[in-house]
């Protein structure tokens, strides 16, 4: 694949813009046979094998990714929306190429897999793979999501038992059950859900006569939010993590 086409698929602009970046000497490619330092390429039509390619654009290193799969530590005071109403969008935390990747399967750039409320923190997945978004968002697949919940009133065994046996929410006569639930401490509840109803954690906790004061998603499927990924930071998912986050309960 031509280098200008590779840059285009990775969100660096139109093909003309990508060709211009290359011709201006702003693109380097890591070539194992040439040593550890990247080599500047100035011919936009230079051919490379895209899979496994690593390159540098304007001083920033990038891996080639046919599809982008990311993990973001969502901070409080941000909205999971391209057009936020009150708070900054989580998408502003990502570099432009990830937000500008060409449209694939009706998805323009990376999109959040599900949403977290503006005051909720923790693990958020983003991708430009429409099938992955559908799979992760579908309640049929029962992908567990773990939430660390700070509550207003002291927890007791009765509340935990009710959350495990099922509570009725005001918009659904069918009881909603936690896949797992434990009182980590007097005011810290660890709740595992396999569904994604609107404000589900807050409404379930309210249904057992308590109130959510703080909410943090710590795990999706078989992958936990890394301790060294600070709020507002993102990183690529590994192949093993892509498989693990889809693990069913």
- Closest by alpha carbon to 91, among 65, 56, 128, 139? 128
Q: What is the pLDDT of residues 170-218, one digit of tens each?
A: 877 889 999 999 999 999 999 999 987 888 999 999 999 999 999 999 9
13-31 as b/e: b if 16+ CB within 10 A: beeeebbebbeeebbbbbb
Residue 247 resides in a domain = no
Q: Give, to the nearest 10 degrees, the angle between helix 200-207 and helix 157-165.
A: 120
| 155-164, 171-180, 231-240: segment of lowest average pLDDT | 171-180
| Claim to verify: residue 108 and residue 127 sit in the same structural domain | yes
Mean pLDDT on 101-106: 73
- Residue 29: pLDDT over 70: yes
- Residue 80: pLDDT over 70: yes
Catalytic residue flag (residue 61): no
Specify the long-range contacts of residues 7-15, CB closer than 8 Å, at least 24 apart.
Answer: 7/55, 7/57, 8/102, 9/50, 9/66, 9/101, 9/102, 10/62, 10/64, 10/65, 10/97, 10/101, 11/96, 11/97, 11/98, 11/99, 11/100, 11/101, 11/102, 11/109, 12/57, 12/97, 12/100, 13/100
Assign 249 a pLDDT band (cuts: 50, 70, 90): low
Catalytic residue among 61, 117, 171, 228: 117
| Claim to verify: residue 77 and residue 48 sit in the same structural domain | no
| CATH number of the domain bearing residue 31 | 3.10.290.10
| Claim to verify: residue 160 and residue 132 sit in the same structural domain | no
- Residue 110: pLDDT over 80: yes
Q: What is the pLDDT of residues 49-68, one digit of tens each?
A: 999 999 999 999 999 999 99
Mean pLDDT on 161-175: 89
Q: How many domains does the chain have?
A: 3
Residue 246 resides in a domain = no
Mean pLDDT on 5-23: 97
| Claim to verify: residue 152 and residue 186 sit in the same structural domain | yes
Give the end of a domain, one of 38, 63, 88.
63
The whole domain housing 8 covers 3-63
Selected residue with higher pLDDT from 26 and 248: 26
pLDDT number for residue 107: 64
| Claim to verify: residue 35 and residue 77 sit in the same structural domain | no
Residue 248 resides in a domain = no
| Claim to verify: residue 78 and residue 41 sit in the same structural domain | no
pLDDT number for residue 25: 97
């Amino acid at each position: 694949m031509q280098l200008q086409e590779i840059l285009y698929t990775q969100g660096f602009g139109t093909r003309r813009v990508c060709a211009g970046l290359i011709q201006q000497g702003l693109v380097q490619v890591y070539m194992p046979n040439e040593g550890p330092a990247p080599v500047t390429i100035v011919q936009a039509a230079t051919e490379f094998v895209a899979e496994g390619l690593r390159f540098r654009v304007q001083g920033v290193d990038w891996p080639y990714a046919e599809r982008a799969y990311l993990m973001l530590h969502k901070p409080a005071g941000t909205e999971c929306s391209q057009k936020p109403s009150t708070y900054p969008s989580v998408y502003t935390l990502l570099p432009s190429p990830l937000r500008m990747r060409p449209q694939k399967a009706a998805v323009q750039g990376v999109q959040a897999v599900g949403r977290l409320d503006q005051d909720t923190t923790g693990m958020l997945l983003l991708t430009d793979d429409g099938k992955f978004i559908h799979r992760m968002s579908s309640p049929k697949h029962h992908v567990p999501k773990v939430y660390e919940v700070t509550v207003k009133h002291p927890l007791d065994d009765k509340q935990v038992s009710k959350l495990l046996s099922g509570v009725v929410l005001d918009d659904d006569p069918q009881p909603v059950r936690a896949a797992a639930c434990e009182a980590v401490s007097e005011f810290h509840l660890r709740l595992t859900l396999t569904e994604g109803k609107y404000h589900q954690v807050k409404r379930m906790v309210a249904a057992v006569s308590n109130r959510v004061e703080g909410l943090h998603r710590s795990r999706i499927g078989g992958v936990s939010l890394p301790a060294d990924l600070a709020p507002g930071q993102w990183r690529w998912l590994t192949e093993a993590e892509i498989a693990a986050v889809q693990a069913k309960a």
